[in-house]
Structure 1
Amino acid sequence: MRKTTLPLLSGVLLLGAHSNLQAQTPDAHNNLDAPFVRHIRPDRPGQTVTTSMLRPGQFQVEVGTQRELPAAGLGTTASVGLLRVGFFNHMELRLAQGYVHQPPRPTREGAPTVAFGLAPLILGAKWLASTRQDARSQVVFLTELTLPQTGDRSLHLTKPLAAARALVSQQIGQRYGLEANLGFSQSGFRAADTKQGQFLYTLALNGPLGKRFGFFAEGYGTGRGSYTYGTTAGLNWRPLPGLRLDVTAGRTLGGHQHTTFGGGLSLRLPH
């Protein structure tokens, strides 16, 4: 695993260093018409969170549903809603909550029941680390806090779950974008909780397919000591400048193997 993460971490750091130089060049001021900047870029449906940030007064709603089919056993379906609000001083505020749908009743007597209902509430914020928003290279930090004792009782957390990510993007030409995430999450705030924390790294490529369609593909790994790897790919359609619909499919390549299928909608106002 160490051999795998070191090249990605090095790439993230190199892109971050390049971002500070690129963001100060004149080209950064003439990039607003690039599809990578102009098109709506939601923070779903994959594991990769985009560096795209809303400007003050803008808000964006993202909703989606995903079906997870394990190699053995019953599948599960979960939906999530995310509200993003552009704030001043290059900051974006976020509020997210998921819903785990009720699975079919088990036919076998004594089979374990699966918890369902509203998931815990997640508060978050994005912070621009680059010197200019919407530059060809960009660095953004994301912080999130999942609140205990929120959502349905069967899904309550006993301790808050804190997470942080470094988000890095590099525009390729005028059409495509490469994005990477490097994150860490832990349950609780004690020093001992850090030893149980989980790492996450992702690398994604996205871009347009014609005027209204686009694609997205990513690889990711998550865990600590023992890692789970996976891939996600999808297509999206933009019938209006601030509206996007997407469909995705994914597959884990390690750990508890499963296949996922999903779809969703994102709306940004004003566009």
Structure 2
Amino acid sequence: MQKTTLPLLAGAMLLVAPSYLQAQTLETHDNENAPFVLNIRPDRPGQTVTTSMLRPGQFQVEVGTQRVLPGSGLGSTNSLGLLRVGFFNHMELRLAQSYLHLQPRPVQEGMPTAAYGLAPLTLGAKWLASTQQDARSQVVFLTELTLPKTGDQSLHLTKPLAAARALVSQQIGQRYGLEANLGFSQSGFRAADTKQGQFLYTLALNGPLGNRFGFFAEGYGTGRGTYTHGTTLGLNWRPLPGLRLDVTAGRSLGGSERTTFGGGLSMRIPH
């Protein structure tokens, strides 16, 4: 894993160096009260993980359900729960698990029923790479490990799934923001496993539509050699700065074509 992820992260840092330097040299005013910082920015429902990090003692719960409709065959429904905890030294701890809902029984007799139940558990952490949290330009690293033999037996992994991402954000004005991810994941830790690893890149724009409503739009690509590309669009409502409800729709092309619809809720305590 090191042979691939280290060059990947090094390349990511080269790509984001201008933003990183700007965060150090141009951050001359207090940005903590900007709506882009104050308003909750969850790490779901799209492919893009935000650079938003919780302060020590803060908790954030994110839950959502997504319906996946493939180009052919039956669709599936997946629900996700994510717990984020602010920790010391500019670190955030994360615990995530999804639930794959029971699909309708096959029309043809003798066909196996698709697996369903709790998916394997994922542990993760965010690490601040910039010199200042909540800066207008920010760089954060995300590391995750999905554990084998967790969740329901029919969905067990045979090997741990490790992933790492470089997260970059650039605030536009006081309310809009661009966020980008560059990541790599692989199953197992052997050198041979690295050759089967998957790359991911994303670019997202989010911002307000009035005082309490907002939008989210992203493009992404994932794969190795042959990539699946897609887009996700979403609307959200924030009745409180630390509470957000959202609805989304997405479409992926290349590889496995599919359409997705979803909705969810995110809550941060204390605000």
1:38-71 per-residue CA deviation (whole Å, 9 max, x = no partner) reads 1000000000000000000001000000000111
Change (3 A) 1:151 1:257: same
1:130-159 per-residue CA deviation (whole Å, 9 max, x = no partner) reads 000000000000000000000000000000
Q: TM-score, normalising length from structure 1?
A: 0.94
Deviation at 1:13, TM superposition (A): 4.6
Alignment partner of 1:121 is 2:118: no
Q: CA RMSD in A?
A: 1.6
Change (3 A) 1:11 1:32: farther
Match of 2:263 in 1: 263
1:207-252 per-residue CA deviation (whole Å, 9 max, x = no partner) reads 1111101100000000111110100000000001110000000000
Separation in 2 of the partners of 1:57 and 1:178?
A: 27
Match of 2:142 in 1: 142
Match of 2:35 in 1: 35
Separation in 2 of the partners of 1:229 and 1:101?
A: 25
Query: Per the alignment, in what secondary structure is the counterpart of residue 227 of structure 1?
Result: strand
Separation in 2 of the partners of 1:133 and 1:19?
A: 14
Which residue type is aligned with residue 173 of structure 1? G
Separation in 1 of the partners of 2:148 and 2:211?
A: 43
Which residue type is aligned with residue 117 of structure 1? G
Separation in 2 of the partners of 1:254 and 1:178?
A: 25
Structure 1 unaligned runs (5+)? Answer: 1-8
Indicate if the aligned counterparts of 1:137 and 1:169 stay in contact, CA closer than 8 A.
yes
Change (3 A) 1:100 1:226: same
Which residue type is aligned with residue 226 of structure 1? T
Alignment partner of 1:85 is 2:95: no
Which stretch of structure 1 is more off in the superposition, 93-102 or 15-24?
Answer: 15-24
Separation in 2 of the partners of 1:127 and 1:91?
A: 5
Match of 2:245 in 1: 245
Match of 1:66 in 2: 66
Separation in 2 of the partners of 1:136 and 1:100?
A: 38
Match of 1:23 in 2: 23
Match of 1:6 in 2: none
Match of 2:200 in 1: 200
Separation in 1 of the partners of 2:34 and 2:208?
A: 11
Separation in 2 of the partners of 1:95 and 1:222?
A: 23
Q: TM-score, normalising length from structure 2?
A: 0.94
Structure 2 unaligned runs (5+)? Answer: 1-8
Match of 1:4 in 2: none
- 1:215-254 correspondence runs (5 A): 215-254=215-254
Which residue type is aligned with residue 214 of structure 1? G
Indicate if the aligned counterparts of 1:229 and 1:254 stay in contact, CA closer than 8 A.
yes
- 1:131-170 correspondence runs (5 A): 131-170=131-170
Indicate if the aligned counterparts of 1:221 and 1:228 stay in contact, CA closer than 8 A.
yes
Deviation at 1:270, TM superposition (A): 0.4
Query: Per the alignment, in what secondary structure is the counterpart of residue 202 of structure 2?
Result: strand
Separation in 2 of the partners of 1:180 and 1:266?
A: 21
1:11-56 per-residue CA deviation (whole Å, 9 max, x = no partner) reads 9656621233222246354211222111000000000000000000
How many pairs does the alignment contain?
263
Change (3 A) 1:190 1:247: same
Which residue type is aligned with residue 199 of structure 2? F
